[in-house]
Structure 1
Amino acid sequence: MTRGDDLTAHDLRRLSDQATQQLLNKPGTLSSTQGGWMMIATILIEAWDLYAIAFVLIFIKTDLNPTAAEVGLAMAAVQGGALIGAFLGGVIADRFGRKKVFIGTMVLFIILAVAQAFVQNIWELVIVRLLLGIPLGSDISNGYAYIMESMSRGKREEMGSRWQFMFGAGEVVSILVVTLLYAIGIDHAVLWRLALALGAVPAIILLIGRLNLPETPLSLLQRGKFVRAKEVSQQLFNDPLDILPNRDVTLPKPKISDFLKVIWADPIKRRATIFAWISNACQGAEFTAWGFYLPVILVLSGVGVSQGGNMTGTNIVTALIFCLATVSGYVAPLMLRRIGHRGVAMWGFGLAFVGLILGGFAIHFDWKILIVVGACILMWGHYWDASNGMTIASMVAPTRFRATASGFGYVFVKAASFFGAFVFPLVSAHFGKAGATFVVSILSLIGFLAAKFILPEVYGYVEAEEATAEASATAASLGRPAEAKGV
């Protein structure tokens, strides 16, 4: 065991980085797996909020009488808030720890979710949803850092890539709940308020489940909290970190200005991160522009709508499509071991492109069954192409910047989602639903090309801090993308 008070700042940083590298290669425990599920479950809550409003939008229009631009803002506001929260939450989590952020974000979300039920006009709804997005974005960036720091190699990648499975589950639940509320005859002016406020229920359950989760040992190490880091490391990895002194130390705070320098200095980090940003932007706009408006597209195309205008049939068709998508989201992480991150991304974007092209022609020629088929192909592909962008951005980043990297990566998702949610109705009005669908397919094609020509294979990658001798050796061994696997 290392002892003594004569360690220099360089020695302490070296020990911290060495302990970090040691834990990143450790097998996890049941506690670390539980923590991973508690973090990825945030996606279910986000999906509920994002998709519930899509199903009650028609009632919001009737009750609040918004203009087309105001509808776009109401739909996109939570994306704009999440964009802000993703970056700020990541920076705060890196400086002050993961637990403070993941508790605070859930409390804020619960309050703001309920507040949606009491708005009096469309602008109040826009403001509340903008604020609601801030804790959502913060929790995602912090949650991905937590997963990458609390689970074992391979397992953390699979858990991070389950976000589409959780997203699909949240969408299906929201569809079924809204359909049930509609079927039992709740007044439409009450229904949309209740549907949005009910997002607080799973958030409360998640908050209670998170109260006993520990801070991650890697975050504690990077902030010099060695005493607590050794305790949590024993709990999550069965490793007491005997190489560290039994006292807390002072380490330099991470500088945001160093984040991109560190990423850009290593070719693997740089290429993987660039792909993650492109992938996040393409999949964010891809889904929000078409999949998010899928219920509206189906209604306007007459799919599942009865002669009396009852939309229950449309909701059931949409639910079945998202059940298929949820299965796709479950399968995608399992495929990582077989075809790697590049394979999952290429197949995902490729299928999404095919689905959108087919959907565009089906809408143009009013082939109702092919609209559904195109939507199924799109959703299967999307739930693959969207599965690993955040995982890659978080996985290749150094621990002291990991939440910042996660947040920065999520900014691309939310910026593209905000753009897609706000612009797609306008593009659809100008080019028609079919033309707008063809425009969206360009995003899928860009994602496919980025996966093929930019992304190195990083399945099994273990980040190494620069301050250690092991990091230098690892960086040298990663000179070829294929060798990133199993580092």
Structure 2
Amino acid sequence: MHQTPTAPAVPTVGHRNTLRRATWIATLGGFLFGYDTGVINGALPYMQDDLGLTPFTEGLITSSLLFGAAFGALGAGQLADRLGRRRLLIILAGVFLLGAAGTAAAPGVGLMVLARVVLGLAVGGASAVVPMFLAELAPAARRGQVVTRDQLMIVSGQLAAFVCNAVIGNLWGEEGNVWRWMLLVATLPAIALWIGMNFVPESPRWLGSKGRYAQMLTELQRIRSAEDAQAEYEEAKALASGVPTRTGRLKDFAEPWLMRVLLIGMGLSIVQQITGVNAIIYYGTQILADAGFGTEAALTANIANGVVSVGAALLGIWLLGKVGRRPMLMTGLIGTCSTLAIIGVASILLPEGPARGFTVLSMTVLFLAFQQGAVSPVTWLMLSEIFPLRVRGLGIGLSVFVQWMANFAVGFSFPMLMSALGISTTFFIFVALGICAVLFVKRYLPETRGLSLEEVELQLRRA
């Protein structure tokens, strides 16, 4: 029986530099994910007049990207297994560029929705492929820190969107079509991603899944010492022996243990969304304006959300090297529930004005600290870890499809819920859903810290 070797040691400095460069280039996909989802926050108030938006069309424009992202994630999972992680990210960079330019140039609601769907295909594809790619490049001892760089880049992209929105809105907010410039900025990192991915190694594990073992070893030697590359090569090859070198298919999940893993992945995806995080990300400016800030002041105040998200993501990366995935996720969920409950209570008890405004702002900041420092990084990390190699692309694609559909439901319904029920009742709904999420994590989520991807697979097979 094959004995799994211990996790490879951390690469030497030269190999670590190669790995670091590859991961930061790949996570430009995460940066674009963050910018393109966050920019709508500040662009919407200016679109309302220029495009004559109603609560329905406002929700439609916001959620159309999320609808496209769901199918982008689903298709990208299988394409990543067929084409390779690196080649697909190069293609997605082109789709990012096309979608961003299309949204900036859209003359009306119809074409805006279409362009946002195209942009969503790229966002969803990157959300599925980048964490998978990073997990397969990283050594087991550093996988948590490497994969969660994507989360750091997502929130950095959101912060960049908030800053660009505030600068453009405060300087040129009185001019028409100012929102177009907010959207156009996203073309720049798309070009950088397209160029940079041409200099990044392919995933060694994907090459192994296709039976291209010589190339697999060559790529491992670029990002590992010779000894560690050989050990990891032997482990991955032994586990892959006897497994067909083909793209994963839905019928593979007929195996009970794989179906259980798929349901955990889908459940984890829903957990990440039902905290209500994207209500804050997409509609934070309106929430703060409703609490007592003016539009321009709300744009500026919203930068605090972005700054805290980046700081929390950095803290989360550090914590993932120190604590387990399960306790970190449960702590984050309890924190998000508590802060949303306080926002709901404050919206009932405090009159509109500075006290209410700064209470809501401080609680949204604290909410994002728990979400971006614990809930989101653990979610994306574990999705990249729990699926075995032969169905990794498809499994992650299906799970992230569910995540984006839940995101779509939140993004589409939130303006109408706010209009019909008010901020307090809407947030209390998210609190109730968050309690359900805590119970799910406690009951079903495995612990994967410190295990190689092959050891995770063996553990889940035996569960």
> What is the TM-score normalised by the length of structure 1?
0.84
**1:357 counterpart residue number:** 341
**1:334 counterpart residue number:** 318
Q: For the residues of structure 2 that align with 1:66 and 1:190, how far apart are their CA atoms?
A: 14
Matched, 1:265 2:257: yes
1:258 deviates by: 4.3
Deviations 1:61-109 (A, max 9, x none): 1011133222111000111111001011110111221121010000111
Equivalent position SS for 1:116: helix
Equivalent position SS for 1:338: coil
Matched, 1:123 2:110: yes
**Amino acid of the residue matched to residue 307 of structure 2?**
C
Q: For the residues of structure 2 that align with 1:233 and 1:59, how far apart are their CA atoms?
A: 49
Report if aligned partners of 2:38, 2:281 keep a CA contact under 8 Å in 1: no
**1:375 counterpart residue number:** 364
Q: For the residues of structure 2 that align with 1:125 and 1:458, how far apart are their CA atoms?
A: 42
Report if aligned partners of 1:289, 1:417 keep a CA contact under 8 Å in 2: no
Q: For the residues of structure 1 that align with 2:319 and 2:415, how far apart are their CA atoms?
A: 35
Change (3 A) 1:22 1:84: farther
Q: For the residues of structure 1 that align with 2:82 and 2:357, how far apart are their CA atoms?
A: 52
Q: CA RMSD in A?
A: 2.8
**1:484 counterpart residue number:** none
2:45 to 41, 58, 65: 58
Q: For the residues of structure 1 that align with 2:418 and 2:460, how far apart are their CA atoms?
A: 48
Report if aligned partners of 2:61, 2:116 keep a CA contact under 8 Å in 1: yes
**Amino acid of the residue matched to residue 100 of structure 2?**
A
- Identify unmatched segments of 5+ residues in structure 2: 238-242, 351-355
**Amino acid of the residue matched to residue 346 of structure 1?**
M
Report if aligned partners of 1:144, 1:406 keep a CA contact under 8 Å in 2: no
More deviation in 124-133 or 93-102? 93-102
**2:277 counterpart residue number:** 287
More deviation in 144-153 or 289-298? 289-298
Report if aligned partners of 1:39, 1:144 keep a CA contact under 8 Å in 2: no
1:270 deviates by: 3.3
1:455 to 440, 445, 458: 445
Q: Which has the higher helix share?
A: 2
1:22 deviates by: 7.0
Report if aligned partners of 1:390, 1:406 keep a CA contact under 8 Å in 2: no
Q: For the residues of structure 2 that align with 1:389 and 1:424, how far apart are their CA atoms?
A: 23
- Identify unmatched segments of 5+ residues in structure 1: 1-13, 245-249, 306-310, 480-487
Q: For the residues of structure 2 that align with 1:115 and 1:186, how far apart are their CA atoms?
A: 21
Q: For the residues of structure 1 that align with 2:382 and 2:92, how far apart are their CA atoms?
A: 23
1:48 to 35, 57, 68: 35
- Write the mapping of 1:85-164 to structure 2, written as runs, cut at 5 A: 85-164=72-151
Equivalent position SS for 1:120: coil
1:175 deviates by: 1.3
- Write the mapping of 1:153-302 to structure 2, written as runs, cut at 5 A: 153-185=140-172, 188-239=175-226, 241=230, 252-261=245-254, 264-265=256-257, 270=260, 274-285=263-274, 286-302=276-292
**Amino acid of the residue matched to residue 349 of structure 2?**
F
**Amino acid of the residue matched to residue 281 of structure 1?**
I
Q: For the residues of structure 2 that align with 1:329 and 1:475, how far apart are their CA atoms?
A: 28
1:416 deviates by: 1.1
1:316 deviates by: 2.2
Identity %: 19
- Write the mapping of 1:4-23 to structure 2, written as runs, cut at 5 A: none
> What is the TM-score normalised by the length of structure 2?
0.88
**2:427 counterpart residue number:** 437
- Larger Rg: 1 or 2? 1
**Amino acid of the residue matched to residue 284 of structure 1?**
Q
